[in-house]
């Protein structure tokens, strides 16, 4: 019968998006990464660039403090409200995706939003620091700040964002059906395992 819906959460630099793309290709499934950002932009009225920046990463401002201030004041206009609005739009779009046909979705709390979806497979891809730094330098080039710093900042934001909207700890095995170390197992092996499980 197989898995019609595959969500792939990933550490920055782990190759998770590449794996997701290839899994979608091999299975002939729709692929929601940039296409998801574009749809959220269309439905929320924000630009794709804005959604890209704000839709998955929290700012360094503590969302705890924002939530505290918001509940104290009974709601205020500010960053947190925009984040919430984007999340609600994103949540509703992702929730409806399974109705449109088989697909692979990258990140954006899709593992949580579709946790009760039938025929879904939830995957987490991560890797050791060396693998990830080598990969982002190769893909995105050298920058002023060290690759380790870029990786840590990006994943820290994803962690905060995920915790804020799902209440879960990002990267805990229990959130997913399978977690794979792409650095250790190799990107090809990860693709093979996911495709094979999807077909079962």
Pick 138 or 200: Cβ nearer a second copy: 200
Pick the piece of the chain touching a second copy (CB under 8 A) from 92-100, 137-145, 156-164, 173-181: 173-181
Does residue 18 belong to the site contacting a second copy (CB under 8 A)? no
Using CB under 8 A, pick the residue from 31, 66, 112, 126 that binds a second copy. 126
| Phi and psi torsions of 15, nearest 5° | 85, 10
Distance CA 130, CA 44 (A): 38
168, 160 Cβ separation under 8 angstroms: no
Q: Which of 39, 42, 79 is nearest to 62 (CA)?
A: 79
Under the binding rule (CB under 8 A), the answer on residue 181 touching a second copy is yes
Contact between 180 and a second copy (CB under 8 A)?
yes
Among 82, 166, 177, 195, binds a second copy (CB under 8 A): 177
Q: Which of 137, 178, 195, 198 binds a second copy (CB under 8 A)?
A: 178
Question: By the 8 A CB rule, do 115 and 42 touch?
Answer: no
C-alpha–C-alpha distance, residues 162 and 21, integer Å: 22
Interface positions with a second copy (CB under 8 A): 124, 126, 169, 171-174, 176-181, 184-185, 189, 193, 197, 200
């Amino acid at each position: 019968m197989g898995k019609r819906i595959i969500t792939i959460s990933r550490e920055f630099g782990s190759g998770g998006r590449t794996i997701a793309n290839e899994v979608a290709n091999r299975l002939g499934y729709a692929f929601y990464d940039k296409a998801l950002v574009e749809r959220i932009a269309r439905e929320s009225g924000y630009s794709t660039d804005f959604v890209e920046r704000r839709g998955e990463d929290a700012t360094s401002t503590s969302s705890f403090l924002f939530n505290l201030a918001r509940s104290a004041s009974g709601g205020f206009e500010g960053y947190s409200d925009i984040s919430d609005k984007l999340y609600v739009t994103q949540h509703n779009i992702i929730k409806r995706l399974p109705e449109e046909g088989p697909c692979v979705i990258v990140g954006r709390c899709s593992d949580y939003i579709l946790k009760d979806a039938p025929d879904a497979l939830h995957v987490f891809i991560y890797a050791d620091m060396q693998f990830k730094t080598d990969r982002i330098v190769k893909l995105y080039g050298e920058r002023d700040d060290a690759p380790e710093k870029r990786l840590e900042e990006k994943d820290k934001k994803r962690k905060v964002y995920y915790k804020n909207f799902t209440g879960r700890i990002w990267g805990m095995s229990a959130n997913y059906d399978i977690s794979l170390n792409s650095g250790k197992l190799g990107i090809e092996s990860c693709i093979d395992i996911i495709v094979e499980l999807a077909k079962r």
